[in-house]
Amino acid sequence: MKIAIIGEKDAILGFSALGIETYPVTDAKEAGERLKNLTQNRDYATIYLTESLSSQIKELITELSDFSNIVVIPGRGESLGLARERLKKISEKALGTDVLSNEE
């Protein structure tokens, strides 16, 4: 099984040294098209996507999450908090509780 990452070129190129297939894109439309193509190819165990792009294609990510493991990661610049939000939803679905909350 393969691992892929979609995002801005300068944010993802370093991942190629780890054996992750990199797919640089310039905008959300291109990211959405690439994501659709990769989810149709069942060779990918996990697809990473930078959060700046994910914020613009949230509906598509939700739709395709049933078919593939899509993980949102922080990209270049300041984090938007979307990666943490998505991880929180995934963990709540899997565990039935919020394990990432700061509240006690």
Instruction: Note the pLDDT tens digit of each residue in 4-25.
Output: 999 999 989 889 998 999 999 9
Q: What is the pLDDT along the chain (104 residues), one digit of tens a residue?
A: 899 999 999 989 889 998 999 999 999 999 999 999 999 888 888 899 998 888 889 899 888 877 678 888 877 665 566 666 666 666 666 667 665 566 54
Computed on alpha carbons and rounded to an integer, the radius of gyration of the chain in Å comes to 14
The structural domains of the chain, with segments of one domain joined by +, span 2-95
- Provide the whole-model pTM: 0.74
CATH class label, 2-95:
alpha beta
Write down the pLDDT at residue 95: 66
